[in-house]
A and B are shown apart, each in its own frame.
Chain A
Amino acid sequence: MTFSTSSSSSVGARLVAAALVALFTSFARAGAPAPDDLVSIAVLAPVPPPSGQAPVDRIAEALSGALAARGFGVLPQSDVDAVLARHRERYTGGVSGSMAMAFAAESGVTGILITSIDDWDEAEPPRVALTCRFVAATADTPILWIDTAARHALERPGAFGLGLGKDAFVLLDEAVEELADGLAANGGALRAGDAGARTRRRQVERRFRPRSMAFDASRAVPAEGAAKVRVAVLPFFTDGPDREIGEIVALQFVQQLTKQDAYDVLEPGVVRQALLDARVIQDQGVSLTQVDAVRALLNVDAVVSGRVSEYEPLGIDAGSPTVAFTASAIDARSRRVIWASFSFARGDDGLHLFGTGHVRSAVRLTSELVRGVVERVEELTHRSASHAPSQPPKEGNP
């Protein structure tokens, strides 16, 4: 009797265990994609920033590991290097159409992940900022996903300040996880080769809106039913020796414009290649002949560029960065400025109750300011489109 009781309980336990295993297996199948559904990615090692000693290899490894853990098929780094070596390509800060095609043909990847190290400092207070973009491995290299993760040791103090005191590598891991989660959340859309649905974002705060804005409604508002505005963002000029600051701001414009449905933003690697081919040297701003050259090579509708007049990652107080820039868009057909803006802010501008809302990272501050400009352009475009059916003026008219 005792035996029979024990035997029946054992069978029951086995049945429960089997049911649990079956349940977990079904969950695991739902979470990890089948081999046919894998998005295969070539992760390019980021370009080391000239001003810092960022651990480039570690960042690439961390990104590869995080993406592999989320079910992406990540091309081994040796294979990525082999493709780059075969095509004698050293630049990994962007990808041209021919290079994207080479990756697709030789390694079978569906996309390329390009990473920019926007900020890296291990000294007190440590800070990290990465911007990643997923570019389809096709000739036209569309940007399917782009995002920035910025971390600062003094932000997110938590209860009793327990969240403070993180070193740069802990911040790096957090940033990598955030980016990998963001990319994984768009996995379905990436498999289909599109950018997926745009998530509705909160409106930018008043303190990050442009201080001054010029807008030419007669040219900036596209005709009804017109295709997306094809935009090339050129590197911004900087007054100081840190040329990469201009690229950080330009990349933020690429990100914020990409997130708007109205724009088709060109991959910066394609723009760079076109500027090199046309031997365009930007020393004092974009001239109209340069706009003509970019239009001829890339068939763009607008060229966005500007100047960064102030970029202080540390600011006066530790963790109160200052950023200031002007930006403008030139219509490539009429060769006229369609909008221009001037933005600046400090991280501690307009703080909320108990000092909340303090932006510690200069990259995050830049991102907010750029978002403020792009949102303002969108707002003025919609307002103008809804108020008056504008006829495009004749070329050359002031």
Chain B
Amino acid sequence: MRAFWTIRLVAFAAVVSVAGCTTHRREEVTYHDPGMDFSLIQKVAVLPFVNLTQNPTAGERVRDVYTTMLQAGGTIYVLPPGEVARGLDRAGVAKPAMPTAEECVNLGKILQVDAVITGVVREYGEVRSGTAASNVVSMSVQMMESQSGKVVWSASSTKGGISAADRMFGGGGNPMDQVTSEAVRDLLDKLFK
């Protein structure tokens, strides 16, 4: 009987230790407004992204890639960034990266867009763990419908980082731009799915 309990205890310890070694991949949250017909959105403005990283240009870099790749999808027309900047000036938006619902409606009228996209870059750069190093991007994006200023879609994505293989065999991961385009592609997949 004692041996039986010992075996069970060892097995339980093994299960717990294996579970502890595995990485827990956090679920990224995606929100789609169930009452929204996304096929009506044909023209959008991508506003400057909030940059929470130490890299001062991360927000603009990610926004630039996002704008091009969104347009490359072929279903949505994206206003040029210079035109968006002009619209923000005309609308007098206090915080261009975080417009209020009223500002979003006003901006939509000025730019004649169906929706406004805002974003936050949470992480952009190199991460290190022991001798391994890799690039990582973490960002979230939301779409506000310009008739009402309501958020109709929101998603986030994290790409890059150090994998178990990187730790074991070394390697510097993918270039920053590749990681960024992977994260943007992931977000666009979530938008169009």
Contact = CB atoms under 8 A, between A and B. Distances in A.
A237 to B, nearest CB: 9
Contacts of B85: 283-285, 287
Interface stretch (B27-35, B75-83, B160-168): B75-83
Nearest to B84: A285
7 contacts: A211-B181, A214-B68, A284-B85, A286-B83, A309-B64, A326-B64, A336-B77
Sorting the interface of chain B by its residue count into under 10, 10 to 19, 20 to 34 or 35 or more gives 20 to 34
Contacts of A346: 175
A340 B68 contact: yes
A326 B81 CA distance: 12
Given A285-B81, A285-B82, A310-B176, A340 B57 contact: no
B99 interface: no
Main secondary structure of the interface of A (DSSP, over half): strand
Contacts of A398: 42-43, 77
Interface in A187-229: 211-214
Contact of A289 (B68, B86, B178): B86
Contacts of B83: 285-288
B82 A328 contact: no
Interface string A280-320: 00111111111000000000000000010110000010000
B72 interface: yes
Sorting the interface of chain A by its residue count into under 10, 10 to 19, 20 to 34 or 35 or more gives 20 to 34
A148 to B, nearest CB: 23
Contacts of B181: 211-212, 342, 344
B147 interface: no
Contact of B172 (A287, A316, A344): A316
Contacts of A283: 85
A212 B69 contact: yes
Interface in A209-268: 211-214, 239-240
Contact of A326 (B42, B68, B74): B68
A330 interface: yes
A322 B64 CA distance: 17
Q: What 9 A-B pairs have minimum CB-CB distances, sorted nearest first? A: A285-B82, A285-B81, A239-B57, A284-B85, A214-B71, A287-B82, A344-B177, A214-B72, A286-B82
Main secondary structure of the interface of B (DSSP, over half): helix
B122 interface: no
B106 to A, nearest CB: 18
B65 to A, nearest CB: 6
Question: By CB atoms of chain A within 10 A, which of B72, B78, B85 has the most?
Answer: B72
A96 interface: no
B60 interface: yes
Interface of B: 42-43, 57, 60-61, 64-65, 67-69, 71-74, 77-78, 80-86, 172, 175-178, 181
B135 to A, nearest CB: 11
A279 to B, nearest CB: 15
A309 B178 contact: no
Question: By CB atoms of chain B within 10 A, which of A324, A328, A346 has the most?
Answer: A324
A341 interface: yes
A290 B84 CA distance: 13
Contacts of A212: 65, 68-69, 72, 181
Contacts of B74: 214
A288 B80 contact: yes
Contacts of A289: 86
Nearest to B73: A214
B175 A344 contact: yes
B46 to A, nearest CB: 11
A336 B79 CA distance: 8
B80 A324 contact: no
A284 B45 CA distance: 14
B175 A322 contact: yes
Given A214-B72, A287-B85, A398-B77, 19 more contacts: A212-B181, A214-B71, A214-B74, A285-B82, A285-B85, A286-B83, A287-B82, A288-B86, A289-B86, A290-B82, A309-B64, A324-B177, A326-B64, A326-B67, A328-B80, A330-B80, A341-B68, A344-B178, A346-B175
Given A309-B64, A398-B43, A398-B77, A287 B86 contact: yes
A284 B80 contact: no
